[in-house]
Amino acid sequence: WICPVGNPESSPCVRGPGRPGGGDEAPPSPLPRLRGRSRLPSVQSPPTFGFLLDIDGVLVRGHQVIPAAREAFRRLVDPQGQLRVPVVFVTNAGNVLQRSKAQELSALLGFQVEPDQVILSHSPMKLFSQHHDKRMLVSGQGPLVENARALGFKHVVTVDELRAAFPVLDMVDLQRRPKTTPLPRNDFPAIEGVLLLGEPVRWETSLQLIMDILLSDGNPGTGLATAPYPHLPVLASNTDLLWMAEAKMPRFGHGTFLLCLEAVYRKVTGRELCYAGLMGKPSLLTYQYAEGLLARQAARRGWAAPIRSLYAVGDNPMSDIYGANLFHQHLQTRQEGAARSCAAILVCTGVYSPRARGPAAPALGGEGPTFHGHRDLGFNPGLLQAAHVVSDVHEAVRLVLGKEGWTL
């Protein structure tokens, strides 16, 4: 279980794979900074570094590519159309197929992006094999069933399917209420867990039916005098409160939906909603998953040198920067693995703007930053500080290549 609000060290919940850290870890080393430029070698050596690139606000805004992204990849792709260094695209989006996102990026960036270079917010759910055989209610939008099955879940029920089986559960929209009272169902198999893959379209319907599943222990056609606790396992991805599209101001993300669900559950039961897994940036699990993909990508290209330095480029201090710095802390105490550092680079083409008070700026009254992250990940204001703040991803790539002594 993921620890709910309060001090994680004193929480009765057991720490799950989506929540990093522990109270007995050694103090982390300072966050990595890029300093100066090394001498450029005459013959390019195999890369010992790799990129973790956010997508929305770094490479694209909505469906429009940011011009600096194309410039950046002119430096990262060789004349044969191959990447010169390992790169993974780490997004908190999840309402799309992995291969579709790879095809979209290929068209926008002008080179072939492979599906296994794309990490969606829910990609690490592949590691939660203990839940793959359970009958799971899945919430979100887009190709939900196909995504869930690609993650390994064999038995999934969508919110729409549950609503069709129990039409009297969804009563907010007067136009969708049943005109007659249907016969009760007693042949519907019990739901054994909940998958939250991304923000749904009809929030009131998803909130109501998810609550029904949790309060009825997976049998929404019945009523229980007391809500079971611990409740059924809940796996959630993408805790972003906000994200940046074409609009001038950030839009609600899945983190806002999770906040609503947690508040409703707490108000109704008097208890905290717990997660069996919480993933997507800034979860440590997402960065560990990305590190593994970078290593496999390097091995596939025949680059024998281990990938020691990771560079995470993002536009959201509360997810991209916080997560990269959290992973860097973890690397300083880890005994195994090749990576030694993860430098966080913040760009100004998305959520973060140096001209306005954003999530990483002091809140009104001087009481410190407004925390936009998820309650279970804790809050350390120092982890909001990027190693570098640059104008765009092209400047970020130039900075890293210079640091690593690569031809600009």
The pLDDT tens digits for 263-307 are 999 999 999 999 999 999 999 999 999 999 999 999 999 999 999
Domain that holds residue 258: 125-278
Let me know whether 140 and 254 are in one domain. Answer: yes
* 6 vs 85 pLDDT, higher one: 85
Residue 210 belongs to domain with CATH number: 3.40.50.1000
The H or E element that residue 255 is part of is: helix 254-269
Return the pLDDT at 120: 97
Per cent of the chain over pLDDT 90 is 71
Let me know whether 194 and 143 are in one domain. Answer: yes
Domain boundary among 255, 278, 301: 278
Let me know whether 263 and 157 are in one domain. Answer: yes
Domain boundary among 235, 253, 278: 278
Answer yes or no: are the C-beta atoms of 15 and 282 closer than 8 Å: no
217/388 Cα distance (integer angstroms): 48
CA distances from 150 to 123, 156, 159 (A): 9, 12, 19
Q: Half-sphere exposure (CA, 13 Å, Cβ side) for 107?
A: 7
Average pLDDT score over residue span 150-162: 97
Q: Is the pLDDT score of 38 beyond 60?
A: no
Kindly state whether residue 103 falls inside one of the protein's structural domains.
yes
Beta bridge partners of 194: 137, 234
Average pLDDT score over residue span 128-153: 97
Kindly state whether residue 22 falls inside one of the protein's structural domains.
no
Answer yes or no: are the C-beta atoms of 168 and 178 closer than 8 Å: yes
Kindly state whether residue 20 falls inside one of the protein's structural domains.
no
Kindly state whether residue 312 falls inside one of the protein's structural domains.
yes
Domain boundary among 229, 247, 278: 278
Kindly state whether residue 224 falls inside one of the protein's structural domains.
yes
Let me know whether 69 and 130 are in one domain. Answer: no
Q: Counting beta carbons within 10 angstroms of the beta carbon of residue 34, is it exposed (0 to 12), middle (13 to 18) or buried (19 or more)?
A: middle
Kindly state whether residue 300 falls inside one of the protein's structural domains.
yes
**Across all residues in the chain, what is the average pLDDT?**
87
Q: Is the pLDDT score of 10 beyond 90?
A: no
Average pLDDT score over residue span 217-245: 90
Q: Is the pLDDT score of 132 beyond 50?
A: yes
Tell me the two tokens of residue 182.
């249907």
Could you read off the pLDDT of 14-25 as tens digits, one per residue?
334 443 333 344
Answer yes or no: are the C-beta atoms of 164 and 143 closer than 8 Å: no
Is the pTM for the entire model greater than 0.75?
A: yes
State the total domains in the chain.
2
Token pair 């999840």 is at which residue?
94
Could you read off the pLDDT of 170-203 as tens digits, one per residue?
888 878 888 777 777 778 999 999 999 999 999 9
Could you read off the pLDDT of 345-370 as tens digits, one per residue?
999 999 898 876 544 443 334 456 68
Kindly state whether residue 13 falls inside one of the protein's structural domains.
no
